[in-house]
Amino acid sequence: MRIDTRINGRDVVLEIEEGEFLARTLRRYGYLSVKEGCETGSCALCTVWLDNSPVLACATLSGRVSGHEITTIEAVAEEAGAFAEFMVAEGAEQCGFCSPGFTMTVLAMKRELKNPTDEEINHYLAGNLCRCSGYKGQLRAVRKFMGVK
Amino acid sequence: MMRHVGRKIPKIDGIALVKGAPAYTSDLDINNNALTVKLLRSPHASAEIVAIDKKQALAVPGVECILTYEDVPDTPFTLAGQSFPEPSPYDRRILDKWVRYVGDEVAIVAAVDEKTALEAIAKIQVTYNVLPPVLDPAEAIGNPVLVHRSQPHTNFDIGCVASKNIAAADTIGQGDVEAVLASCEVVVESRYRTQAQAHAMMETYRATTCFDVNNRLQVMSSTQIPFHVRRLLSRVLDIPRSRIKILKPRVGGGFGGKQTAAVEIFPAMVTVKTGKPARLVYTRNESFCCTTSRHAMELTVRLGSDRQGNIKAVDIYCLSDTGAYGEHAPTVFWVVGQKTMPLYAAAKAWRYHGHAVYTNKTPGGALRGYGATQGTFALESAINELAEKLAMDPAELRLHNLIREKECHGALCGSAPGHPARLESSSLAACIERGKELVGWQKNYPCRTSVDGTKRRGYGMAVTMQGSGIAGIDTGSVTLKLNEDGFFTLAHGASDMGQGSDTVLCQLAADVLEVELEQVVVTSFDLDTLPYDPGAYASSGAYVTGNAALRAALEMKEKMCLSAARLLEVAPDEVQYRDGRFLAAKGESLTLSELAGKLCSFAGKEQLVATGTFGGATSPPPFVAGFAEVEVDLMTGQCDVVDYVALVDCGTVLNKNLARIQVEGGIVMGIGLALYEDVRYSARGRLATGSFMEYKIPSRQDVGEIRVEFIESHEPTGPFGAKSIGEVVCNTPAPAIVQAIYNATGYRCRQLPATAEKILLAPGPGGQKQV
Ligand code: FES
Ligand code: FES
């Protein structure tokens, strides 16, 4: 079936299969920053924005994004790049497979929280799993990126 | 002068990866119309396949092929990625008439898309003769139920006796352990169990295959062991290695899991049969259930000492559960001994012995720590128990008995009979002292009651060692090429899976060549262009491949000076190289880029290439002293690691950031092992923890403070004095945390993980009885 939607600021028509989830659709259409790490909505590697709020693309039916706006990290390269500088300065990206989804959640958090505590940060990002880094480097990068005092 | 080594240099690919640049296998294989490969798996822990009817499945439109054991070569092999001749037994086939665990492969299905492949799988009818399984490793030896009915080929004697379900066995030691133990004033004997742990790397296993334009079998794979994969496919598929092209993109985490060639053979088989591209991506469930996990072990430790705490004897018996296949069975089992026996060199009598046994479960395999993690838990727990029995500070007991620099020990990797290897570098004693300071050991140990009445805090510690590469076996190479305007290409086959070897190798080369980091570019993707390397395992990157990079760079410098002398028309010994400039004694000079330019145009005519190769005669151990502070809620059993302090000796720290993250990541993996990660099975042998819902890995909310400090020693055989870092870091949390729980509650957990439930239900002072 066909749906009309908006991805990264462009109106697009997507051909999707019934029951297909957004993570698959996006990857099929070449938005390769969207990673998948599980089948149970547990890892948040697939995080994209739906109308500017982070969602799990693996748990969002593609049929339901019709008429909505999707944003992947490709569209926020500048802001993502700014955060990436803090990440690499800490060495907090290891394999990097979790990083795009993590970054999308962090950028959304930055809009929502001002001067958050570590607890608030960890709560907001709790769903984003990372098996490599041990999370502490990510936390240091996030604190600096958010300008936490 | 060191410009890059020792600094906090960002990973060269870091920014791109964070921004989501296409870099991994599934990002690069997208345009080849590959068939989707899915595997039909055994629902039984042990069974003989009596018949397979694939007629209905083949009739599904879009199905390309269905392969069963009758359609594929019958060559026995091991999936373990090890240098040839592999120590692991050749006990598996691509597909077999016998299935040995729930999830064992029965048929390979290739179809136009996933839906079709799954539909076909549902329509394959298999008749099984279901057999009773052996699931408990303690009952495996001598059990009439056999996991393997015939003796597998082994490349040399590893003690494999399939008719007794023994995959490997060994005894090493020195002195008469029994006699010494009998004469000891104080003896501790305890049995410990370590559970199977899942790798849970974020990118699941995957590979894509096709025939390339030269009609070679091309395999793109998320692997730590590209060269071993090529050798394995060549042997099993009976295709010359020259006809196989391996591509290794960025790897989304491995932790040893991808040191086993779990997936490549299946799409390769499909491509060979059909001539078409094929792609296999494991689901998370398959990654949990049908690859490998950390070998579960039962370890019996006996320690003997005098009343003053002079340890006289160490004895460890190990029963390792290797599951259905012996991938890494002998080696993980050996490493338990290699990384525990040398630690307390004061003990002149020592013995390590035991068995790795087959059971009808998901195979054991390589996982960060590789036996050292299990062995450390047992040995260090026993040391803590001994300290208590001696009424000694466990830190003091350790300091009193530890191996010191320049001491020899026959269990150190690289020892030969009669020639124990020598420990050249260690700052472990300083690590312990500094750790005590940081946690306020003198004041706080063993425990202090916490803020409110139901919470107790406790402290614990442990030390550990690992190795740096495999002595006498694994050999890595690095090739440097001087390009026409003076930058270098560094080619290597050590698989970067996030640890940063691409970056660190460039740092090493750039320092020797006295150039900026940007002047060294790395290539590590296409095996055709890379010098041999066994791959990313055994903590070999910084030390083995690092040494190769160092040698390549030194040779390159020498070659450049020779060429410069020729072009400057002076004798070779009259040329000096400094910071990108060649200076002749008489004052003429040439810049690096001028030299490079001349060598590729009229005057010079010379392509400079230098290769360095290194294989270690020893495997210098890095060390960690770990200190845990836990808070246990006596009402719920909930244990929080509020502070973990790790003091690390990895020799010279090559890259401060990358090393620190390795430590933090390893500790968090170790915390998971200590407290909740646990691969569990149903009574009939079905793996019960096949998703992140059932198998919990640490989230960022589970991690308290982690403090890391490096206390550098200088390893004379290492590049710029460096040793490894990747594995040693996950070994101390389990014993240190378990000891801290004991000190907080009185409950000593000898069977990992120390779950809230166990803590709560434990009898004794820390159990609910006390509350
Ligand atoms: S892929 Fe794991 S939550 Fe979406
Ligand atoms: S960096 Fe590898 S999973 Fe986060």
Q: What is the DSSP string of B88-134?
A: S-B-B-SS-SEE-STT-EEEEEEESSHHHHHHHHHH-EEEEEE----
A30-33: long-range pairs with CB below 8 Å, 24+ = A30/B30, A31/A7, A31/A72, A31/A74, A32/B20, A32/B22, A32/B26, A32/B27, A32/B30, A33/A72, A33/A73, A33/A74, A33/A100, A33/B19, A33/B20, A33/B21, A33/B22
Tell me, in angstroms, the distance from the centre of ligand 1 to residue B196's CA.
24
- State the 10-residue block means of pLDDT for chain B, 771 residues long: 87 97 94 92 98 98 98 97 97 98 98 97 98 98 97 98 98 98 98 98 98 97 97 98 98 97 98 98 98 98 98 98 98 98 98 98 98 98 98 98 98 95 98 97 84 86 97 95 96 94 97 97 97 94 97 98 95 94 92 95 89 97 98 95 98 97 98 98 97 98 97 98 98 98 95 97 58 35
Note whether A91 and A115 are same-domain residues. Answer: yes
Pocket test for ligand 2, best of A43, A45, A130 (most atoms within 8 A of CB): A130
Radius of gyration of chain A (CA): 15
In angstroms, what separates the C-alpha of A72 from chain B's closest C-alpha?
A: 9
Which one of 3.30.365.10, 1.20.200.10, 1.10.357.10, 3.30.2130.10 gives the CATH number of domain B296-469+618-767?
Answer: 3.30.365.10
Same domain (yes/no): A58, A9? yes
Ordered by start, the domain boundaries in chain B are: 31-131+200-289, 296-469+618-767, 475-614
What pLDDT does residue A149 have?
84
Q: How far apart are CA B540 and CA B620, in angstroms?
A: 10
What is the Rg, in whole angstroms, of the alpha carbon atoms belonging to chain B? 27
User: What atom of ligand 2 comes closest to residue A94's alpha carbon?
Assistant: 1
Task: Quote the number of domains for chain A.
Answer: 2
Adjacent-strand bridge partners of B426: none
Among the partner-chain residues B498, B697, B701, the one whose CB lies closest to the CB of A95 is: B498
Same domain? For A60 and A111 the reply is no
- Kindly state whether residues A125 and A80 are assigned to the same domain: yes
Which of A46, A72, A98 is a domain's end point? A72
Query: Ligand 1 centre from A57 Cα, in Å?
Result: 7
Is the Cβ–Cβ distance between B729 and B666 less than 8 Å?
Answer: yes
Contacts for B567-576: CB closer than 8 Å, 24+ residues apart: B567/B595, B567/B598, B567/B603, B567/B604
CA angle B89, B327, B247 (to 5 degrees): 110
Q: In CATH, what class is B31-131+200-289?
A: alpha beta
Helices B592-599 and B546-568: crossing angle in degrees, nearest 10, is 80
| A34 and A81 housed in the same domain | no
**CATH of residue A136:** 1.10.150.120
Same fold, B31-131+200-289 and B296-469+618-767: no
CATH number, domain of A64, equals: 3.10.20.30
Please report the residues numbered 35 through 64 in chain A whose beta carbons come closer than 8 angstroms to any beta carbon of chain B: 35, 37-40, 42-43, 45
What global pTM score does this model have?
A: 0.97
A97 and A68 housed in the same domain: no
Looking at the fold, whether A62 and A90 belong to one and the same domain comes out as no
Considering the domain architecture, whether residues A79 and A56 belong to the same structural domain is answered as no
Residue B231 neighbours by CB distance under 10 Å: 18
Q: Say whether both A37 and A48 belong to one domain.
A: yes
Last residue within a domain, chosen from A72, A95, A117: A72
Of all protein residues, the one whose alpha carbon is nearest to atom 1 of ligand 1 is: A36
ipTM: 0.98
For the domain made up of B475-614, give the CATH fold.
Aldehyde Oxidoreductase; domain 4 (3.30.365)
Question: Does A81 lie in the same domain as A55?
Answer: no
| Whether residues A10 and A68 fall in one domain | yes
Which chain A residues are closer than 8 Å to B673 by Cβ? none
Which residue, of A56, A72, A88, is where some domain finishes? A72
**Domain that residue A14 falls in:** 2-72
A133 shares its domain with A110: yes
